[in-house]
Structure 1
Amino acid sequence: MYGFILHAHTKPEQADAFEQLFRSYVEPSRAEPGCIEYHMLRDVQDPTLFIFYEVWASPEAFELHVALPHMREFHDKRMDYLRRDFDIREIEMLSPAR
């Protein structure tokens, strides 16, 4: 498995647009064959901070996900939304996925 936690620090004026955009990606991402877990969270104390918890069957499954047209398009425009680039921490799964 391949898992990570990603922090996205949005520009204050782009936070709601970022949320709306990625809310539309949650269910399609969850439906992808290699997706095990895909969660989008928004920090209560800092509403410009979004946290993604993702687990994929393999690094290759994740690569297929990021190669999708809508993900490539977002990647090219991500800094329109973000104050700084993503903070990504790879994680080791110590408990089984549901």
Structure 2
Amino acid sequence: MSEIAVVAISVAKPGYEDRLREALEGIVGPTRKEQGALQYDLHRDVQELRRFVFVERWESQEALAAHAKSAHIRAYKEAVADWVEHSEVRVVSKIV
């Protein structure tokens, strides 16, 4: 089992910043309780206020896969589908 990290970026459509922020904040608590979640921190870009960034660490790829299938993540994705202009998820492994 090897630890992985994730950088997940969501950009709100203009006018949907507050709604998206609330939805993102709503998944932090449940996700932090998930088995294998080591870090799950939400950030906001200081220059582009529509851009939100999660910095995540997971015990394994399997833990991340389970997270992606969780009920709260499925519900979140359905709720925000019309509010997000762009999203990107990068899974990385630490070198040093």
Q: TM-score range by the shorter chain?
A: 0.7 to 0.9
Between the aligned partners of 1:92 and 1:49, the Cα distance in structure 2 is 23
| TM-score using structure 1 length | 0.84
* 1:88 aligned partner: 89
1:23-62 aligned within 5 A = 23-62=25-64
Q: What whole-Å deviation, never above 9, does each CA across 1:57-93 have from its counterpart, x for those lacking one?
A: 1111111112111211222344311112x22222222
* 2:5 aligned partner: 3
Q: Which runs of 5+ in 1 are unaligned?
A: none
The runs of at least 4 consecutive aligned structure 1 residues that moved more than 4 Å come to none
Between the aligned partners of 1:9 and 1:17, the Cα distance in structure 2 is 12
Deviation at 1:52, TM superposition (A): 0.7
For 2:68, give the aligned amino acid: V
Between the aligned partners of 1:46 and 1:28, the Cα distance in structure 2 is 27
Q: What whole-Å deviation, never above 9, does each CA across 1:32-55 have from its counterpart, x for those lacking one?
A: 121011011011111100011111
| TM-score using structure 2 length | 0.85
Larger % of strand: which? Answer: 2
SS in 2 for 1:16: helix
Between the two proteins, the alignment pairs up a number of residues equal to: 94
